[in-house]
Amino acid sequence: MKSWAQGEAERIQRWLIRKVEEAGARGGVLGLSGGLDSAVVGALAARAWPGRAWALVLPCHSDPQLVAAAKDLGTALGLQVVTFDLSTVYDVFTATLARPEDRRLEAGVSRLREANLKPRLRMAALYHVAAGRQALVLGTSNRSERFIGYFTKWGDGGADLLPIGHLLKREVRELGRFLGVPEAILKKPPSADLWPGQTDEGELGFTYDDLDAYIAGDRDGLSPEVRRMIEERHRMTAHKRSMPPDPGEEEEKHGGTFQMA
């Protein structure tokens, strides 16, 4: 009898193959960070399209050890690994956009704004490479991250397909174990590598175990403060989970009709 992980892996692989065929594409491209989510998506892509699954390693003032580990991981998973260092692009971009009035930004706002530029540059690189290879861009966000909007809009949130977008973080870990993702990655603290020492849970203020339990409806063991933080993040990031609204859509929601002047 098949395990849940085996059945789910086969189901996702069939879905990936079908979606790429429907689009008239040849394979998939993903950004490989060396973390759990991208490793699982990479493993699924390599199984779906042997020789036509490309992993882009896109350092941007990143730790060289993490970059080397991501390359090794991609090779071990059977992916076609391509590396582009975006550090100089990032420096030129930030210098070009710099304005004196930006100095008035709060330190936290300024750091987050600069950090969000990295995944947006990576998204541009992914689509550029995908276009040259007749491939679709695979996102690596999971259901837990999507529920609280923990991704950069039009950055790592920009993709054609979300192979694990329906899975909780704990389910991604179980799937990764079945797919042969190294134990060190399964146990590695999740991090978007936005700045040195940054971890997802440290930034969020709660754990993925807490978040998964909340989404799954197992909330009795969660403190009121944790529930409040999760609900607030879900509410404040609703715009990330939908296409940009237009006036006609807004009118329809409120029972009116939008007419051109």
d(CA 29, CA 47): 13
Measured at the alpha carbon of residue 111, what is the angle toward residues 191 and 35, in degrees to the nearest 5?
A: 10
User: 29 near 16, Cβ under 8 Å?
Assistant: no
Cα separations in angstroms, 16 against 44, 160, 198, 248, 250: 9, 11, 32, 34, 34
Q: Which of 63, 91, 145, 212 is catalytic?
A: 145
- 53: its two tokens: 């699954």
Dist. CA 244–CA 239, nearest whole Å: 8
Q: What is the DSSP string of 4-58?
A: HHHHHHHHHHHHHHHHHHHHT--EEEEE--SSHHHHHHHHHHHHHSTT-EEEEE-
How many Å apart are CA 160 and CA 20, to the nearest integer?
A: 10
Q: How far is CA 220 from CA 168, 217, 223, in A?
A: 18, 9, 8
Q: What are phi and psi of 56, to 5 degrees?
A: -95, 125
Assess whether 145 carries a catalytic annotation.
yes
Catalytic residue among 8, 10, 22, 37: 37
Angle at 137 between CA 133 and CA 140, to 5 degrees: 145
H-only helix segments in the chain: 4-23, 36-48, 64-77, 87-97, 107-132, 143-147, 169-179, 183-186, 200-204, 208-216, 224-236, 247-253
Q: Active-site residues: which are they?
A: 37, 145
